[in-house]
Amino acid sequence: MSDKTTIIAVSGKGGVGKTSLSAAFVRLLTEEKPDAKILAIDADPAIGLSTALGVEVTQTLDDIRKSIVTSVEDGRPKEAIEMLSEARFRIIDSLIEEKAFSFLAIGRPEGAGCYCKVNAYLKEVISLLAGDFDYVVIDGEAGIEQINRRVMEKVTHLILVTDPSRKGTQVAETIKRVADEMVMYEKCGVIINRVGDPDVLPYVHVEGVPLLAAIPDDKAHAGNDIRGLSVFELPGDAPVMQGARQALEKLEIL
C-alpha cells in the first residue's frame, strides 16, 4: 500500500453522467494499477455504481446504521453499544470483494431516527477503512455536503461533472463553493460530459476550475447503460473511457 491514499470524489448535478465516469475511473485504475488496492464507494442513494460496475449489493452502510438506531429507539442501549463496537467488522463484512477492486454502498440518506454520534462514528470507520487502500473512488449524489457528512471530510481530488447546460455549470460552481468551505481537497477539475455540439464548448465553463476533459455524446454507451451492462463491457476507445483517462492523466493520477 502507498504511504498516502488517493481519494477521488465525483460530484455534480443529477443526470450528467457522474456514475458512468466514476465506474470508468475504477476500471482504468484496475487496468493501469493492477497491483493497487482499489475501493469504490457508492454514496448515491440510487446505488447506480453497483450496476455500472457489475456488482450485486446485499447490504449497505445504511442497513448497519438503521440496526444500531433501532436498538437505541427500542430502549436497548447495551445492545446498541455492542453493535456500534462491532460496526467496523460489520462494515468490513459488507465490503463486496471483486477480482480487481472492493465495493461499499452507503445506501439511502439519513431520515427519521438520525443519530449524529452514530453517523460520525460510521464516517470515522470509513475513513480508517479507506486508509487500507491505495485508491478510493466515491460516486456522490448531487452535492458535496453528503460526502462530507456521510463518508469523509477529506479527499485528494474533487472531480466536478456537468453537461453543457447553464444549470449544470451553476450546480458545479455551487458545489465548488461549498467544497471550499466544507471539504479538504488538494486538486479540483471539471469534466464536461454529453457534448452534442463542440461549438458550444467555448461558452461552457465552471468559474475557477480547470477543464479536465470534454466528452461527446455517446449513443453506444447510453444503450449499454439502458441494458444494464457494466463499464467493463465497453470498448476501451469509448468516449467515456477516453475522457476518463484524459481527466486522470491531467490530475497526474495515471
Cβ neighbours of residue 173 closer than 8 Å, sequence gap 6 or more: 206, 207, 209
Task: Scan for cell 466536478, then name that residue.
Answer: 160
238 phi/psi in degrees, rounded to 5: -60, 145
Over the stretch 8-20, which tens digit does the pLDDT of each residue have?
A: 999 999 889 999 9
Q: Name the 3-class secondary structure at 98.
A: coil
Chain-centre distance for alpha carbon 47: 10
> What is the pTM for the complete model shown?
0.90
Q: Given a cut of 60, is residue 115 above it in pLDDT?
A: no
Give per-residue pLDDT as tens, 166-180: 999 999 999 999 889
Q: What is the pLDDT of residue 110?
A: 58
Which domains does the chain show, CATH number per domain? Answer: 6-250 (3.40.50.300)
Provide the 3-class DSSP secondary structure of residue 133. Answer: coil
